[in-house]
Structure 1
């Protein structure tokens, strides 16, 4: 198959490229803003593209022409203070991909949605794919994922004939994303090893989030491509990640602090540019439902290889060791390098990516 992957150098994209390349039977086209070199660049037809601008149209059309499937993974998390850019990349980028898919007659589109697209839960029972995708209003990420789902709705209703698959995983993690997560969520002056020195974790003990390993998501995408399976699929490990699991992975003692108090402190630090994670992520963590993955298991034959706490522990170890991959997105992170970038271009939460 000729398969085009947007966001092919990211957390999920790098794992998917590795998974599909191992089959040795596909013509892979990787789209990313910053392209890899070295071993990870081999066996893939790489194209540089910025989905946040209309200038990407020609590259998308050229790349999609003759494709058997397009896997749309590209998304943005920073700069968290630049909502316009994040919307242009996430929502606008999805709109541009859909236009190119329609214009070139791509027969199968696999879109990486998220548990973040779902509306707030009513209780702790897992929900299936019929749960509303209205998003969490106070979370920018969630609103954008829900908006992308509406674009998919309109695309399907237009009668283009494209088979659309929507994957809605929980929080996706792997060890190699450690450096990237440090850049996204930890101030530049904090060394990776400091994560192991946290004596207490002030957090609301009610926090529970679904999680899944990056390789397990890549396996689900491969199954969808091979089976040409359409529609939505939830993806999550059997056991969710709780506040107690987080504290245990960090080697810290959990101290219950109501979410409203944590939110106020988090908001103040974000507005003061002391840390780059906005409060919408906290709100989403408490609002989103657990996921019923019966459809993926039954129709795709999919099962997670790692449990939620196991995935989170791997992620934390990766962050402590500043683990990295071989793509620009997953590049190594050092304190000196992070401070240098902050001095030259400002904090991660406000600077536009080069």
Structure 2
């Protein structure tokens, strides 16, 4: 079988790729994503790759070509953040599902598995197990649940139009694995959450919202369910979860490291909800209060149908999956893709640092070199903040993949340069970097910017500034290349960094072309999704 996986770089997608690589029935795999992973790394090396952004209507043409000759499509593409951009989430999640299904039908794909969720189900207030016949109207107040319910309606309509196509909709509980630790921190707890302390401290008492109970499943187990569904040509809905129920007490026991005994402090739900809402609106907490609603009111799922029709049985308990996730949270684990990138991300694998025994020779003016490298790091800090702001501001445009790829590469190189400076025994700059960061922030207060709205011209000028910054960085790598031996670095390392800068300029050139053709026109909208 030739299989195409849409959204193949995330939590479930990475596990599905690994499972597909172990199946004799699967002859080839094509992975699709907005942003390509490190294709030489596991598990992404098991697939061919192509980019596509499913939110746009014209993606149907692209998808149809990519699906040509495929026996099955597994659709996992879903955008969880940013919560504040509801139109963007709806286009990616609901419209994107419609585009994938339409393209699959036009390409004559006869087996499809789609990632639905326990979140699609209507709210309950008890622990009675529900099978797949329970209503899928979603849980009010949760944007994730509301979009999953809307996705179910898209699949209902598709099944009515294409009864000859085997469409399986899988409704898993929370999907956990160690490699999703850094991703889940970014999406829910935030970068400032001190999750690293879990490596050193086991809290005796853990505060848990009252009434929380949920089901989980290990990513490996949910991947088996997706693959079984397409191999068997399964139809209909399937609940996917481990047997055990994660109550507040059970979660607290796992977090605290206790095997039994009282480990939780029940937090009353009514005052907690506005606190989470306030923290989210203050941008302290990425998740909003809707996730509390879903955790409180999602039903317990009966998984009998998956066991019977798919011959599916979870190998890991929900408790084991959660314990593994907590280890991943503490250590910041991840994979070689942008969604799953580790918390501490540097390019040390591709660009090694000098050995601990290395020392600068006396022929080098250490003070001048330190100053030069510190200035470049300060400039890199300002550039990183700029490209990250651009990535967030223009995430609903067709050039978001390029912006995101550049931002990810610059973040990795920034950390590597910082580590290189410290490896030479130089301290990090304490004045220049904050000063340049402040200057970069002030530079965005431009007279052409529309109050509280992004300017059509902003992307043009911001891209030009970033292209200049990348050019300056490239020159910096060339300078350091002349001193590679003295720094204890292979010259080829700087050659690769120069090539990476050229790639970044190319990506930014595509962004600039897109922006300049739209920015100053009066006869059309500037950044209309799909244009």
TM-score normalised per structure 1? 0.93
Query: 1:244 maps to what in 2?
Result: 249
Query: 2:22 maps to what in 1?
Result: 22
Structure 1 stretch 254-263 or stretch 197-206: which is displaced more? 197-206
More strand by share: 1
Q: Is the contact made by 1:191 and 1:334 (CA closer than 8 Å) also made in structure 2?
A: no
Query: 2:356 maps to what in 1?
Result: none
Query: 2:130 maps to what in 1?
Result: 127
Structure 1 residue 62 and structure 2 residue 105: aligned?
Answer: no
Greater Rg over alpha carbons, structure = 2
Query: 2:153 maps to what in 1?
Result: 150
CA 1:207/1:53 → structure 2, altered by over 3 Å: closer, same or farther? Answer: same
Query: 1:106 maps to what in 2?
Result: 109
Offset at 1:86?
0.8
Structure 1 residue 278 and structure 2 residue 288: aligned?
Answer: yes
Q: Using the alignment, how far apart are the partners of 2:285 and 2:390 within structure 1?
A: 9
Structure 1 stretch 291-300 or stretch 24-33: which is displaced more? 24-33
Q: Using the alignment, how far apart are the partners of 1:138 and 1:83 within structure 2?
A: 13
Listed one character per residue, the Cα deviations across residues 260-299 of structure 1 (whole Å, up to 9, x for unaligned) are: 1211111110011111101111000011100000111111
More helix by share: 2
Listed one character per residue, the Cα deviations across residues 211-243 of structure 1 (whole Å, up to 9, x for unaligned) are: 111100111112112211111110110001111
Query: 2:206 maps to what in 1?
Result: 201
Q: Is the contact made by 1:139 and 1:283 (CA closer than 8 Å) also made in structure 2?
A: yes
Helix, strand or coil at the partner of 1:219 = helix
RMSD of the TM alignment (CA)?
A: 2.4
Offset at 1:202?
2.7
Structure 1 stretch 316-325 or stretch 341-350: which is displaced more? 341-350
Q: Is the contact made by 2:112 and 2:230 (CA closer than 8 Å) also made in structure 1?
A: no
CA 1:290/1:52 → structure 2, altered by over 3 Å: closer, same or farther? Answer: same
Structure 1 residue 215 and structure 2 residue 258: aligned?
Answer: no
Q: Using the alignment, how far apart are the partners of 1:176 and 1:191 within structure 2?
A: 18
Structure 1 residue 269 and structure 2 residue 274: aligned?
Answer: no
Q: Is the contact made by 1:102 and 1:160 (CA closer than 8 Å) also made in structure 2?
A: no
Number of residue equivalences: 353
Helix, strand or coil at the partner of 2:41 = helix
Helix, strand or coil at the partner of 1:52 = coil
Helix, strand or coil at the partner of 1:176 = helix
Structure 1 residue 94 and structure 2 residue 104: aligned?
Answer: no
CA 1:269/1:200 → structure 2, altered by over 3 Å: closer, same or farther? Answer: farther
Listed one character per residue, the Cα deviations across residues 94-124 of structure 1 (whole Å, up to 9, x for unaligned) are: 0111111221221111111000000011521
Query: 1:324 maps to what in 2?
Result: 334
Query: 1:46 maps to what in 2?
Result: 49
Query: 1:32 maps to what in 2?
Result: 33
Query: 2:459 maps to what in 1?
Result: none
Q: Is the contact made by 1:80 and 1:349 (CA closer than 8 Å) also made in structure 2?
A: no
TM-score normalised per structure 2? 0.63
Helix, strand or coil at the partner of 2:103 = helix
Structure 1 stretch 246-255 or stretch 148-157: which is displaced more? 246-255
CA 1:56/1:233 → structure 2, altered by over 3 Å: closer, same or farther? Answer: same
Helix, strand or coil at the partner of 1:39 = coil
Q: Using the alignment, how far apart are the partners of 1:204 and 1:188 within structure 2?
A: 22
Unpaired runs of at least 5, structure 2: 258-262, 348-380, 405-531
Q: Is the contact made by 1:78 and 1:349 (CA closer than 8 Å) also made in structure 2?
A: no
Runs of 4+ in 1 over 6 A off after TM superposition: 339-343, 347-351
Q: Is the contact made by 1:203 and 1:262 (CA closer than 8 Å) also made in structure 2?
A: no
Query: 2:167 maps to what in 1?
Result: 164
Offset at 1:144?
0.3
Structure 1 stretch 124-133 or stretch 217-226: which is displaced more? 217-226
Listed one character per residue, the Cα deviations across residues 101-150 of structure 1 (whole Å, up to 9, x for unaligned) are: 22122111111100000001152110000000000011000000000000
CA 1:278/1:349 → structure 2, altered by over 3 Å: closer, same or farther? Answer: farther
CA 1:147/1:272 → structure 2, altered by over 3 Å: closer, same or farther? Answer: same
Listed one character per residue, the Cα deviations across residues 28-69 of structure 1 (whole Å, up to 9, x for unaligned) are: 111011112213343412111111222422320111112111
Larger RCO, structures 1/2 (Cα 8 Å, 6+ apart)? 1
CA 1:8/1:335 → structure 2, altered by over 3 Å: closer, same or farther? Answer: closer
